[in-house]
Amino acid sequence: MVKVGCCWLYAISKYGYPPSIADTMQALKGMKALGFKYVELEGVREENLREVYEHRHELKALCDDLGLIVDNFCPVLPDVVSLDEQKRQHALSLFDLACEIANFFGCTTIQTDSFTPPLEFEGPAPYKQMVDFGIQFKVKVDLQFSWEKQWQVMVDSFRTLAQKASDAGLKFCLEPRVGEMISNTDAALRLFDHVGHENLGFVLDTGHLHAQKEILPLSVEKLGKRIFYVHLSDNDSKTNEHLGLGRGTVDFEGVFLALKKHGFSGMVGLDIGRIPDLDDEMRRSRDYLLELLTRLGIPYDA
């Protein structure tokens, strides 16, 4: 049975990145008003992560009052892949705090990204201040930069994070995203082969992978049981916009038939944002999703 939920992009789109604790509470109330039961929560870098930790009792009480279940927690800690060993070790230690938060809320999964490579961006850089879609990158590669070294740092860090999550009883998932070091399905599979830890899985994000020109049902086939979580949004494959379902060219029926084949039973979150009339699109997309699941005979909890 899949769990139908709301992703944190809704909160970011409404209140900025990251939302304050007061705005986080408003976002959770908004998710409930849209009809959701399952939600995700983020802690963005150390300051916001510690704020979420300090206010965890208030946030959990609100979720309990609203009948919300936080199924996924995403600590955004770019330094987990830093080439600076001191920064990397500090970020890895903050992940322990994130696991404590995830367990406090009763999450199933804890999520991370692979983050932007340490290149010199001339102009816009991906995800520098906000979740951005459809921007062009112009970069310079430092003469001293070594991809082989960066890759080994990523492998070592994600192996460590997978084990930390396992020790905490959490499934650990990485989200491939446009403009980051792991940006597509095959890069994810290569990472899994090198990390070699069964607790490493992935977020299937239809918006990002469609913009990477992936054949999405094939992505599901490739990842199979390694899919721990699904983000749903639509676009025309020309940019990584996160539009409402049915507003682009994503083959959602093909995606869900492939997920059904592999017995996926995690959370499918509507990851829609940075669009006009967001609440209306969330309601319409939720109805679209529930109709699709019903038609395909996929049991769900909403």
Model confidence at 129: pLDDT above 80: no
pLDDT for residue 127: 67
Range of the domain at 77: 2-301
pLDDT tens digits, 135-178:
677 878 888 889 999 999 999 999 999 999 999 999 999 999 99
pLDDT at site 255: 98
Q: What is the CATH number of the domain that holds 212?
A: 3.20.20.150
Per-residue model confidence (pLDDT) at position 118: 85
Q: Tell me how many domains the chain contains.
A: 1
Q: Which residue has the higher pLDDT, 7 or 127?
A: 7
Write down the pLDDT at residue 93.
98
pLDDT, position 137:
74
Mean pLDDT of 37-64: 98
Provide the pLDDT for residue 119. 80
Whether residue 253 is predicted with pLDDT greater than 70 in this model: the reply is yes
Residue 85 three-state SS = helix
Q: Look up residue 89 and give its two tokens.
A: 């070790």
Q: pLDDT of 208-227, one tens digit each?
A: 999 999 999 999 999 999 99
Percent of the chain with pLDDT over 90: 90
- The average pLDDT across 224-252 equals 97
Q: Rg of the chain over CA atoms, in angstroms?
A: 18
Is residue 37 a contact partner of residue 68, using CB atoms and an 8 Å limit? yes
Residue 5: CA count within 13 A, CB half-sphere: 28
pLDDT (average), residues 271-284 = 97
Q: Is the pLDDT of residue 130 over 80?
A: no
Looking at every residue in the chain, the average pLDDT score rounds to 95
**Sign of the torsion formed by the C-alpha atoms of 118, 228, 230 and 238:** positive
- Alpha-carbon distance of 167 to 186, in angstroms, equals 27
Q: In which band, very low, low, confident or very high, does the pLDDT at 22 lie, cut at 50, 70 and 90? A: very high
**Alpha carbons 146 and 139: distance in angstroms, whole number:** 15
Pull the structure tokens for residue 194.
């090198």
pLDDT confidence of residue 180: 94
Q: Look at strands 2-6 and 300-301 and give their pairing.
A: parallel
User: What does the alpha-carbon distance between residue 25 and residue 153 come to, in Å, rounded to a whole number?
Assistant: 36
pLDDT at 64: 98
Question: Does residue 131 carry a pLDDT above 80?
Answer: no
Cis ω for the linkage preceding 19 (within 30 of 0): no
Q: Contact 111/72 with Cβ under 8 angstroms?
A: yes
pTM: 0.94
Give, in degrees to the nearest 5, the angle at Cα 74 between 73 and 77.
Answer: 145
